[in-house]
Amino acid sequence: MTQQTSLPLLNKSGVNYFLDGFGLIRRKGLRTFVFIPLMINLILFAGVIYAAVGQLDALFTWLNTQLPDYLSWLNFLLWPLAVTTMLVMLAFVFSSVMNWLAAPFNGLLAEKVEQLLTGKPLYTGSGIDVIKDLPRILGREWIKLKYYLPRALVFLLLFLVPVVGQTLAPILWFGFSAWMMAIQYCDYPFDNHKVSFKDMRFALAQTRGSSFSFGATVTLFSMIPIVNFIVMPVAICGATAMWVDKYREVYRNSAIAPA
C-alpha cells in the first residue's frame, strides 16, 4: 500500500544532489565501494567495445569483397553510421547488464554513503546475508526492467510517426530517460530500507521537480565520453544524499533491524 505521508520539501535541486556526488566519491571510507563497481564498469565496457569493433571489422572486410570497386567509397559513409548505431545499441544493452552486475555493490555503496551522511549505522546484514539476498536484489532490477521496457517501446515507436511524432519524440524520450535515471539510482537507498518499488515511485513523484532535475543531469553527464564511466557511483552517492534529506525520515522505519 502506497504511503500517502507528506514529504519534506527542500529547496535543493536534483542537479545539486548529483554534483554533490562528485565530492562524495572522494570521501575517505567510500573509495573502496566506488572502486569495485567502477572497475567492473571499465573492464566490461572495454571488453564489449573490443568484441564489437572486431565484429564490425570482420563485417566490413566481407562487405569489401562483395562491393564492386566503383562503390568502395561507400565505406566512408557506412563506417560512421555503423559505429554510431553500435554505440547507441551498446549504451542500452551495456547499461542494463551493468545495472544487474553491479546491483549488490551499488546497494552497498548507498548504504555506506547514508552511514557517512547520518553518522548512524544501517543494518543490512553480514556478507553472507548479502549473498543470500542476491535473488531479491536481482528481482528488484527485474521489476525496474519490466517497468522500463514497455514504456520505452511506446516512446521509441513515436520516432516512426511522421512530423509530429518525430518532432516530439526526442523531447519525450529525454524526459522519460530522466525519470528512469531518477528511478534507477534513487532505488538503491530506498531498497536498502525495503521500501517497495511502488512506494519509491510515489515518493519520487511527490518531489517531481528534484527527481526530474536529478535524472536529467544524470542523463546529460552519461552522454559525455570518459565522464560517463564514473556517472554510476556519482549518481548513487547523489541519490543517497537526496534520500537522506527528502525521504529518510518518512521511510526509514521500513528498514529491517537486526533480530
Condensed to tens digits (0 to 9), the pLDDT of residues 35-89 reads 877 787 777 777 777 777 777 777 777 766 766 766 666 666 666 666 666 665 5
- Please name the residues in contact with 229: beta carbons below 8 A apart, sequence gap of 6 or more: 38, 41, 42, 45
| Residue percentage of the chain with pLDDT more than 70 | 73
Q: What is the pLDDT of residue 120?
A: 78
- Tell me the per-residue pLDDT of 150-189, one tens digit each, with 9 for 90 and over: 998 888 888 777 766 667 888 888 899 899 999 999 999 9
Q: What b-and-e string marks burial along 109-137, b requiring 16 or more CB atoms within 10 Å of the CB?
A: bbbbbbebbeeeebebeeeeebeeeeeeb
Place of cell 528534484: 210
Q: How far apart are CA 15 and CA 54, in angstroms?
A: 38
pTM of the model: 0.75
Residues 52 and 222: their CA atoms lie apart, in Å, by 20
Length of the chain in terms of residues written: 259
The three three-digit cell numbers of residue 69, written as one number: 570497386
Q: Please name the residues in contact with 33: beta carbons below 8 A apart, sequence gap of 6 or more.
A: 105, 108, 109, 112
